[in-house]
Amino acid sequence: MTAPTLISLDVNGERVDAQVLPRLNLADFLRDHLALTGTHVGCEHGVCGACTVRVNGDIVRSCLMLAVQTHGASVETIEGLSDSGEIADLQAAFRDRNALQCGFCTPGMLIAAQDLLERQAAPDRTLIREHLSGNYCRCTGYHAIIDAVEATARARTGRKS
Amino acid sequence: MTLGPANPETLSVLDRPNSYIGKVVPRPNLDRLMQGRGLYVSDMELPRMGHVVFLRSPHAHAKIASIDVAAARRVTGVIAIVTGEELAPVITPWVGILSHLKGLKSAPQRAIAIDRVCWQGEAIAAIVATSRAVAEDAAELISVEYEELDPVTDMRTALDPQTPVIHPSLGDNLAFERNLDAGAVDAAFAGSDEVVEAEFVFGRHTGVTLEPRSVVADWNAAEARLTIYQGTQAPHMVQNIAALHLGLEDSQVRVICKDVGGSFGIKVHIYADEMATYALSKLLRRPIKFVADRVESFNTDIHARDHRCKGRIGVKRDGTIMAFEIDDLTGIGPYSMYPRTSAIEANQVVNLVGGPYVTKNYRARARVVFQNKNVMCQYRAVGHPIACSVTEGLVDLAASRIGMDPVEIRRRNLIADDAYPCASPSGLRFEKLSHHAAMNKLVAMMDYEVLRAEQAALRKKNIHRGIGIASFIEVTNPSAAFYGVGGARISSQDGVAVRLDATGSVTCQTSITEQGQGSESLTAQIVGSVLGVSMARVRVILGDTDNTPYGGGTWASRGAGIGGEAALQAAKILRKNVLDVAAAILQASPAELDIVNDVVVNADDGSPRIELRELARIVYFRPDTLPPGIQPELMATRHFVPREYPFAFTNGVQASWLEVDTDTGFVKLLRHWVVEDCGTIINPQLVDEQIRGGVVQGLGAALFEKCIYDERGQLTNANMADYLVPMSGEMPDIDVGHVVSPTAETELGAKGAGEAGTAGAAAAVTNAVNDALRPFGAIITEIPLTPQVILAALKRI
């Protein structure tokens, strides 16, 4: 179980084939093998949320998932979500509200927030706080992030109605 | 469009048309960070780069009997394994002392330990390999024989004669002691109606920057030049110190600081493992990357706030505070950190206790002792949370003893808003503070009386809510008095160069740095406002010793006040130079012209005369068409350092509204208010977010954060699952208000705002918890306020 293994997966809509060691985690695979450095590594034990990515539509901690587990999967990172325009409004809300300072938590925070907004059209502040409670931000104190997510939810609901 | 005034030169930039000062404008370049396209040091890859992993001591205090690296060297991919002895010829040791902190002593510290380790986590060997994973594999094959020594862990017994002395050459474990006796303390206590005492205990905690400390050092042997890519707050300081200890000239070291994933004071120091990384690059003649993992971060990032402070307050029945007295003790680990030293926090506590209040009677002793734990040093709001918690805790205890409302006792003792300039008993000089205006605003914002009524009503339903108030002062804009006078080569001045480029855009190089505070934005706002150039056309360059003026960087709430003033003055010179050229081209007088929205206009009616892009085109490409004798200077540089006041003090007040579950001991934060006065506000949104982020760091200290060591000096919770940090679910919304008292020392008038939030948050929460527990007669003067601490105070466990 220590020899390199071939995996094939879809990363941000591109087909990727790679030989990886079974012990390689998804975060290191994305960062070191694919140079997708928007996925950040904060704690390496699944607590801080900086490495949050989407695998087959669900958000996961890429530091807790092995790269070999993504064989056949579809992986989306902050680079992909940015280029597709899927979270452009959320990003604009973060910018307008200064909901980021150092920006290290921001990719994971955006992906976690988008996950909530896909499930809940109109989450209240308590629900937003709860959903993001696995994503650590040392800079903002969270208030501005909650504001930005709330504003995005409101704008999206307004657009639909 | 607002028309320009008749004579713009007589107005400050704050009044100019289309000024960005005081406006909410988004920070430039946020898209890069939001799209995951920033460049943090941990993202960097260079050709031939080796990755270093440090083998660290599992013991708090031990002799290194032997290190066997033979098996590790045979691992494929290992480039080198280097011990302290092997690295010593490349880099010299250092001692973290400052001459103005009289008596401060420490022992020489090395990049990698030789013969002895003094804390769990001190590096004893460096393993350099083609990847971090390979280096970690190899590290496991190194066998080390240790002879354990008795660790000194409890600061309370560190000075006892039977306690071993960590550094025998120093004679004892006392790093520093300061005594202060101002006014007539004994007489004041004797004349008090009540004297209240308490011991305040503060948990040791740390910064937990989301991006761990990271450095890439690239020694180019052919150029004989070292390039250091590092997430640091002070690039020129790193340049100077790396050069000094590697035997190089400053010009042989370039420090580049790209995006930084959080700093908060953690990344303003010189760490042994970073010094080792620079030296390894020189030794191995290739780029070396060090990125701390989270366990290393907890074991080696500086810790802070491990204080036990006995406090005493004397008060009259009418609420007059007669005197404060403190006896502070802190343990700083085995070495005083370099180059800022580990005595500053205790020194600040002595300086700041009682700071908001009128009484001149103040006695203080602070002792700083060595111990075999991780090093302690300056972390956001250095000393302030200790001083504020002690002061405000004592004031609340005194109020409670005489049956006075906490707001009222403060109103009777806070320095009057018209009493400035004045000085504190510890000698701090206050130019202009606004304690009463801030308190009035806070009371209105939180609807204090309504909240008190709500609290009383809920108490009848057995719901225990509390209100906690904490006034504070904050040190900002430090002059050379902080470090320079003590011999540290840490610049207190900053420089800004502003240049009009060939297409009429502006490039601005500043020596302050960006870690998310908005240094780039405030610089662009100031330069754009002064020049009359739109912010979108101002590009700011920071964090590169080759490409910025010399300066201190961003720490101690100095970026806006010092770097901002340098930007203002540089932009003024460039503006004058541009108008001189424009006048020559237009055959006008400079006084008749102004610059508005990237265009030189008539000052009186605002009609456009020449676009900056056209002016720049002429200057750079057709200077032959300029009148004879004109040599345009479209680049201007100015530096600034405060000279009149050693520090610009700010002030403010915070309030916490929370609920204590007396069955579980859990605290629920319901709301938090802050009113602060940072002088001129350049960007209200950025100031508010500095305050909010700072508050939450203080709330973490109040409720969760503590590095728990056992009696052998083992850190037992060195991971983010066991060391709790504030997450969004537990944090409240935070309302921020302002009073504005600009400093007259600068034209800009800005003081700092980076640490106000952290300064008072824990004090407000502790006072609120005690307020909630008043019916139970429980008083807690210890943080973090864990359920265990609260239930113990309630005698339920």
* Residue B295 belongs to domain with CATH number: 3.90.1170.50
Do residue B255 and residue B289 come from a single domain? yes
Domain boundary among B591, B623, B640: B640
CA–CA distance, B769 with B772 (Å, rounded to integer): 5
**Residue in B757, B740, B756 with CA at minimum distance from that of residue B748:** B740
Confidence of residue A1 (pLDDT cuts 50, 70, 90): low
Helix, strand, coil % over all residues of chain A, rounded to 5: 40, 15, 40
Which strands, in side-by-side order, build the sheet including B288-291? B78-83, B123-129, B50-56, B288-291, B214-220, B225-230, B253-256
Give residue A159's pLDDT: 75
Q: How far is CA A47 from the centre of its chain?
A: 14
Q: How far is CA B392 from CA B203, B315, B767, B775, in A?
A: 18, 14, 8, 20
Do residue B658 and residue B715 come from a single domain? yes
Q: How far is B26 from chain A (nearest CA, A)?
A: 6
Closest chain B residue by Cα to residue A127 = B729
Total length of chain A: 161
Radius of gyration of chain B, Cα coordinates, nearest whole angstrom: 28
Give residue B29's pLDDT: 87
Give residue B16's pLDDT: 78
Do residue A100 and residue A146 come from a single domain? yes
Give residue B10's pLDDT: 47
Q: Torsion angle, CA of B408/B414/B419/B425, rounded to 10 degrees?
A: 150
Are B648 and B410 spatial neighbours (Cβ–Cβ below 8 Å)?
Answer: no
**pLDDT digit string, tens, across residues A91-102:** 999 999 999 999
Do residue A91 and residue A71 come from a single domain? no
Question: Best interface-test mutation with A: which of B206, B298, B728 has the largest number of A CBs within 10 A?
Answer: B728
Q: Are strands B174-182 and B362-369 parallel, antiparallel or unpaired?
A: antiparallel
Of A43, A79, A95, the CB nearest to B26: A95
Which regions of chain B are under pLDDT 70?
A: 1-11
Domain boundary among A50, A81, A112: A81
Six-digit token pair at B34? 């939001």
Do residue B685 and residue B608 come from a single domain? no
A-contacting residues in B 418-447 (Cβ below 8 Å): none
User: Does residue B515 belong to any structural domain of this protein?
Assistant: yes
Domain boundary among A20, A50, A81: A81
Closest chain A residue by Cα to residue B736 = A143
**Residue in B493, B474, B431 with CA at minimum distance from that of residue B745:** B431
Do residue B607 and residue B691 come from a single domain? no
Do residue A77 and residue A96 come from a single domain? no
Do the Cβ atoms of B26 and A143 come within 8 Å? no
User: Does residue B163 belong to any structural domain of this protein?
Assistant: no
Give residue B2's pLDDT: 36
Q: How far is A158 from chain B (nearest CA, A)?
A: 24
Are B272 and B109 spatial neighbours (Cβ–Cβ below 8 Å)?
Answer: yes
Domain boundary among B606, B640, B674: B640
Do residue B498 and residue B622 come from a single domain? yes
Are B509 and B549 spatial neighbours (Cβ–Cβ below 8 Å)?
Answer: yes
Query: ω into residue B784 within 30 of 0, thus cis?
Result: yes
Give residue A160's pLDDT: 67
What is the mean pLDDT of the segment spanning A57-74? 98
For tokens 């050379």, the residue is B480
**pLDDT digit string, tens, across residues B297-332:** 999 999 999 999 999 999 999 999 999 999 999 999
Do the Cβ atoms of A137 and B35 come within 8 Å? no
The residues that bridge with B794 in the sheet, in sequence order, are none
Do residue B556 and residue B664 come from a single domain? no
User: Does residue B618 belong to any structural domain of this protein?
Assistant: yes
Across A24-48, b (16+ Cβ under 10 Å) vs e yields bbbbbbbbeebebbbbbbbbbebbb
For tokens 């280097």, the residue is B82
Q: What is the CATH number of the domain that holds B571?
A: 3.30.365.10
Q: Which residues of A touch B45 (CB under 8 A)?
A: 35
Q: How far is B656 from chain A (nearest CA, A)?
A: 15
Q: Does A119 contact chain B (CB < 8 Å)?
A: no
**Three-state helix/strand/coil letters over B365-405:** EEEEECCCCCCECCCCCCCHHHHHHHHHHHHHHHHHHHCCC
**Residue in B651, B695, B689 with CA at minimum distance from that of residue B672:** B695
**Three-state helix/strand/coil letters over B144-166:** EEEEECCCCCCHHHCCCCCCCCC
User: Does residue B20 belong to any structural domain of this protein?
Assistant: yes
Give residue B34's pLDDT: 98
Q: Does B80 contact chain A (CB < 8 Å)?
A: no
Give residue B3's pLDDT: 39
Do residue B85 and residue B228 come from a single domain? yes
Ranges of H-type helices in B659-786: 684-703, 756-772
Which segments of A1-159 are extended strands (E)? 5-11, 14-20, 52-55, 58-61, 74-76
State how many domains chain B has.
Answer: 3
Q: Exposed, middle or buried: residue B523 (CB in 10 Å: 0-12, 13-18, 19+)?
A: buried
Domain boundary among A81, A102, A136: A81
Do the Cβ atoms of B262 and A139 come within 8 Å? yes
- Looking at residue B683, its amino acid is N
Q: Which residues of A touch B685 (CB under 8 A)?
A: 97-98
Closest chain B residue by Cα to residue A96 = B26
Do residue B500 and residue B538 come from a single domain? yes
User: Does residue B488 belong to any structural domain of this protein?
Assistant: no
Domain boundary among B616, B640, B664: B640
Q: Which residues of A touch B720 (CB under 8 A)?
A: 42-43, 45, 47-48, 136
B-contacting residues in A 61-100 (Cβ below 8 Å): 77-79, 82, 91, 94-98, 100
Six-digit token pair at B539? 């590009």
Do residue B517 and residue B603 come from a single domain? yes
Do residue B283 and residue B145 come from a single domain? yes
Question: Best interface-test mutation with A: which of B27, B32, B33, B379 has the largest number of A CBs within 10 A?
Answer: B33
Q: Domain span at residue B59?
A: 41-149+212-260+266-300
CA–CA distance, B656 with B672 (Å, rounded to integer): 5
Closest chain B residue by Cα to residue A82 = B35
Closest chain A residue by Cα to residue B684 = A98
Do residue B619 and residue B692 come from a single domain? no
Do residue B762 and residue B712 come from a single domain? yes
* 3-state DSSP assignment of residue B680: coil
Six-digit token pair at B573? 């010179």
B438: which residues sit within 8 A by CB, 6+ positions away?
B471, B651, B652, B653, B675, B676, B677, B739
Q: Read out DSSP for B505-569?
A: -EEEEESS--SSS-HHHHHHHHHHHHHT--GGGEEEE-SBTTTS-S---S-TT-IIIIIHHHHHH
Do the Cβ atoms of B692 and A100 come within 8 Å? no
CA–CA distance, B210 with A49 (Å, rounded to integer): 10
Do residue A108 and residue A65 come from a single domain? no
Q: What is the CATH number of the domain that holds A106?
A: 1.10.150.120
- The CB-side HSE value for A79 (13 A sphere, CA atoms) comes to 16
State how many domains chain A has.
Answer: 2
Q: Domain span at residue A56?
A: 5-81
- Looking at residue B106, its amino acid is S
